Structures are given as C-alpha cells and as structure tokens.
Amino acid sequence: MPYPYVLLSAAVSLDGYLDDTTPERLLLSSRADFDRVDEVRASVDAILIGAGTIRADNPRLLVNSPERRAAREAAGQPAYPLKVTVSGSGDLDPAANFWHTGGEKVVYTTDKGADRVRALGIAADAVALGPELDWRRLLEHLHDVRGVRRLMVEGGGTVHTQLLRQGLADELQLVLAPLFVGDPAAPRLFGPGGYQGGRLRLVESRRIEDVVLNRYEPTAPGAGPLPTAADRHWLALACALAADCPPSDTAFSVGAVIVAADGTELARGHSREAGDPVVHAEEAALAKLDPADPRLPTATVYSSLEPCARRSSRPAPCARLILDAGVGRVVTAWREPDTFVTEADGTGLLAARGVDVLLLPEYEERAKEPNHHLL
C-alpha cells in the first residue's frame, strides 16, 4: 500500500510554539518565507491541515502566485492543489474560507463525522474512514483514489504529532522565527508525549531574512536513534576485549563494556575471565558494579555479541541480568547464531521489555574474529 511523500511544514517561535492564544493568527514567518511556502505548495498534489487550524486561522491555503498556478496548469495539473482536512467530529464551519477558495476539497472523517459534514452542507467530498480516523488508510486513499504523490501538511500540532509518531512523515520543514510566545497554554508543534524515533537527521539549514528554515528527515519510530561516535568507540572496544577470552570450543568469546550516560566507563568484562570457566562478558562486567549504582538506568551495555536469552551454564541469561540491573540501552555488533542454542533472541527479549537495542552490523566481522573456529 503505497503512500504519498509526506512533507510536514510549520513555523515555530524560539520557545517552540505554533501560535499564541489570542484570536488572531500569530505571524511567525517572514515575507520571503511565505513566498517559499507558496512555492512548496505549488510543488505538491495536495495540502492537508487539521480541523483545529481551520477553526483557529480560517486559512485559504492557496497557491498565491499567478505564475506558479500557470506553470502548474501548463504541466497538466490543476491550478490549485487538492485541499484536505481531517476532522473526527465533522463539526466544521460551512462558511470557512477553506471551502470557498481554490480547487477541490476533501474531508477525511469518521462515519459519524461524515453524516455531520453532509448535514452541514459543507462544500467538499466527505470520506468516512470508519469509526476512527486512521492515518494509514487516509494516506492510502489519497494515493490510490486521489492520485496524490506528494502531500504537504501544514499543521496544526495535533496532526504533525500523529504523523511523526506513526512514522508516516518523510520530511519536516521547520521555520524558526525570532520571537517568543511565552504562554504555556499556546499550541506546540509536538506533544504532549514522547517520540520513539530518537534524533531526527538535519538535511539542510537555510537563513531566509530573519527566520531559519531547517529541513529534517524523521527517523522511523522503533528504528531507534542513530549511533553516535561514542557508540562506535565503545562497541569497537567491546569487540577488542573479546580477544582476551581464554579459547573455548564450547562457548563464544565476547567482550562487554558498561558506560554511563556521561561517557564514564563503569565496568568491562570478557567471557571466561578471572578463571571462571563459564562466566559471560556482560555478566562479568555487571558483577563489578553495585546493583544500586544510580548510573545504571541511564547506562549503555556495549557487547560484541547480543546478550544471550538462554544459556545452559547458569540459570540467568545476560538479557535477564541486564533487565534486572535496570539498564535501558544495549548496543551490539552481532546477532547470536544458532551454534549453541536455537532462537537465541536476546535482542527481542530486551526490546519487548522496553530496552533500546541498537545493532551495528558494521562491527559484526570484528565480533566474529575470535570465534571463527566455532562458525
């Protein structure tokens, strides 16, 4: 089910607000930036806003430049992009500018909302997506039925938040305006609540008069944050520590390092260290720390091989020891092969309990090096 390319566009104050709480719309962008937005609008098949923005701002959502409209028509497109809104309630003002300017309009809504839209005599196509509004179905419908390949989303925060959180946004164009709002009751770009995708990737930063346009590529939620230079350093060390393991034909050679959030090394370990013939690397490292160490919950365990989920040598596998220690993040180089146990899914076990697990396969060869005789 293909979706359109989804481009989120917004302007925020220096303190991160989309608007203030006065009835008039707060102008955040500069003149030149409004013209840039006009150009982006001219480049898309459809523009979407939430019902809240129609109520708050009563926007027209047009391509204002006659030259850009003419260019669209010359390319065989309608002069104006399709205008799209979403409303669960269907409670929309039939007199709003949105319905009476520009080209075609569509309202994505719920079954109940669609009845309301029709009863109000709203001048738009009402598409009911079921008892609840489902963004994937909405995007599918836009793509398959409306032929939309490129969608611009102009807010508000409720809409942006859902598309980012559900991993449906391909790009965020965020303009930072040099003013403060300072009113905690004002609407924000994102939230409340968190974002599972970690850090976004900055693609471009551009000054436009007195505002700055930043273009970001969101990361897919669940994909986790990108590795940092520190992650690479510590994982490389964990792989190097595996070379210190006494050789074995019945167990892997693994290295592990536990690092605090501030970058302090807390402990390191390797398999079969200090004369213990069965101890695992993560187990050896954790054993060197006080279980009540307050740095553990925000620490990272770097391990050349993913923490084991099952083992015959001791009752508790390393994934369990990491969970018991309350460590929230693991970075590893190599998924455990079926050499000694089958379905050794330590990563799955950790992730299912909320641990952030990052696999850096570019270190897999290093992790395998002291284990080639077992593979």
Ligand X SMILES: NC(=O)c1ccc[n+]([C@@H]2O[C@H](COP(=O)([O-])OP(=O)(O)OC[C@H]3O[C@@H](n4cnc5c(N)ncnc54)[C@H](OP(=O)(O)O)[C@@H]3O)[C@@H](O)[C@H]2O)c1
The reply to whether 91 sits near ligand X by the rule CB under 6 A is yes
Q: Which listed residue (30, 43, 158, 166) binds ligand X by CB under 6 A?
A: 158
Q: How many CA atoms lie within 13 A of 54 on its CB side?
A: 23
Give the closest residue to 200 by CA, choosing from 231, 224, 179, 181: 224
Those residues whose C-beta lies under 8 Å from the C-beta of residue 155, and which sit 6 or more positions away, are 9, 10, 18, 49, 50, 53
Q: Which residue, among 186, 180, 243, 173, has the nearest Cα to 212 in the 3D structure?
A: 173
Total residues interacting with ligand X, rule: CB under 6 A:
27
> Using the rule CB under 6 A, is 173 a contact of ligand X?
no
Contact in structure between 157 and 130 (CB atoms under 8 Å) = no
Between helices 66-74 and 31-42, what is the axis angle to 10°? 10
Among Zn ion, ligand X, none, the one that 280 touches (CB under a kind-dependent 5 to 8 A) is: Zn ion
Q: Which stretch binds ligand X (CB under 6 A): 47-55, 194-202, 206-214, 275-283?
A: 47-55
Q: Give yes or no for residue 16 binding ligand X (CB under 6 A).
A: no
Residue 11 in the binding site for ligand X (CB under 6 A): yes
Amino acid letter, residue 276: D
Q: Is 13 in the site for ligand X (CB under 6 A)?
A: no
Least CB distance to ligand X at residue 65 (A)? 19
- 259 near ligand X, rule: CB under 6 A: no
Residue 114 binds ligand X (CB under 6 A) = no
Q: For residues 150 and 43, what is the distance between their CA atoms, to the nearest angstrom?
A: 8
- Given 177, 239, 256, 308, the residue binding Zn ion (CB under 5 A): 308
Stretch that binds Zn ion, among 27-35, 209-217, 285-293, 315-323 (CB under 5 A): 315-323
Strand pairing class (255-259; 265-270): antiparallel
Among 280, 320, 329, 366, binds Zn ion (CB under 5 A): 280
Q: Which partner, ligand X, Zn ion, none, binds residue 91 by CB below 5 to 8 Å per kind? A: ligand X
Q: Does 331 bind ligand X (CB under 6 A)?
A: no
In 292-363, which ranges are continuous DSSP H helix? 318-325, 346-352
159 binds, among Zn ion, ligand X, none (CB under 5 to 8 A by kind): ligand X
3-state secondary structure of 110: coil
Does 187 interact with ligand X (rule: CB under 6 A)? Answer: yes
Q: Nearest to residue 281, comparing CAs of 267, 263, 265?
A: 267
Count of CA atoms in the C-beta half-sphere (13 A) of 86: 24
Q: Residue 312: enclosing H or E segment and its boundaries?
A: none
The stretch near Zn ion (CB under 5 A) out of 42-50, 61-69, 269-277, 303-311 is 303-311
The site for Zn ion (CB under 5 A) is made up of 280, 308, 318
The site for ligand X (CB under 6 A) is made up of 10-11, 18-19, 25, 28, 49-53, 56-57, 86-89, 91, 133, 154-159, 162, 187
